Amino acid sequence: QFNSYYATANANLWNNSRPNFAQFQGFPNILREHNYNTYLFSYEDKSASINLRQLFFEAGFEHVLLRDELSASNGFPYADYLSDEQMFDATINFLDNQPKEPFLLTTLTIETHLGTAVPEYYHKYDAVDNDLLHLFSNFDYHFGRFWEYFQNSAFFHNTTVILTADHSYFPTKEANDLFSRNNNQAFIDKIALIVYDPEYEMPAVVETTASALDFAPTLLHLLNIKEAPNSFAGLSIFGERKNYPEVFGREGGHITQLSTAGELINHPINQPKPRAAELFEKWLHYQNFLIQENRIFPNSTNP
């Protein structure tokens, strides 16, 4: 999302191809060039299956704080991961001590993910006894605590807040039944993109069809950063995206197309498909080649 680029078919590139891995010019890097301090808080620890600290540095963040650092600085007890409650506590504590300088803070949470247990102390959904709803209700409660703090702080008048996700909910039968989705639904679906911006009167709903790749260009649009060389593959939701209503992605062995009629169509890789999907598949192959050749954005400021 921050690089506005399609993930490669080979995630090991993140770990195994340094120092020849492609240098992107993503959203955090661009903000750093405009004198923003960039921070990322993650619930995860540094022993995760991928090198999270390196990955987030690669994405352009200057300061990356994982479970151990956040636990130490906020007095949290040791656990396998930080809860949503703790992540929002850490966010509030950070804002309480934040100098009056431009900053980007990204806070990652985990407890709405599939398979998370629902302890008794969670703020549960009252109407129905459903574990998925309990997970979202608990997140909603703790985000609400943050939002109440934010509304009563000076940040409310000069800071943009965005609530979004890095992927849709995994299509288990339980999730599909809850969200009224087809049980054959691919792991591609709508995600939230909720924006508060003190500078603009935002519409209640934006009808433009878009994808997660449009996240970074949209943020630059909101911040009125116009002259910023980048390697984005997406477009601003408030700008050119509306002129390109079809959206493509890749999941496993399929090219996924969201048609102008809102239909989700899966096209198997390396099999005949409509012209637009065929061109997208060729682009994916070419972008993977460019990544491995370090030819995406060779003048990037990434380390």
Query: What pLDDT digit, counting tens, does each position of 149-200 carry?
Result: 999 999 999 999 999 998 887 777 777 787 777 655 566 778 889 999 998 8
pTM for this predicted structure: 0.86
Tokens linked to 157? 């008048």
Reported as a single tens digit per residue, the pLDDT across 40-75 is: 999 986 556 567 777 788 778 999 999 999 999 999
Domains of the chain: which residue ranges?
A: 13-242
Q: Spell out the CATH class of 13-242.
A: alpha beta
* Residues 12-48 pLDDT 10s: 554 555 434 446 788 998 999 999 999 999 998 655 6
Q: List C-alpha distances in Å: 69 to 59, 80, 296, 301.
A: 20, 13, 33, 26
Is there a contact between 185 and 208 (Cβ–Cβ < 8 Å)?
A: no
Spacing of C-alpha 263 from chain mean position: 23
Phi-psi region of 36 (alpha: psi -120 to 50; beta: other; left: phi over 0): beta
Using the predicted structure, report yes or no on whether residue 233 has a pLDDT greater than 80.
Answer: yes
Q: Give the tens place of pLDDT for each residue, 238-277.
A: 999 989 888 888 777 788 888 878 788 888 888 888 898 8
Across the range 215-240, mean pLDDT stands at 90
Mean pLDDT of 140-157: 96
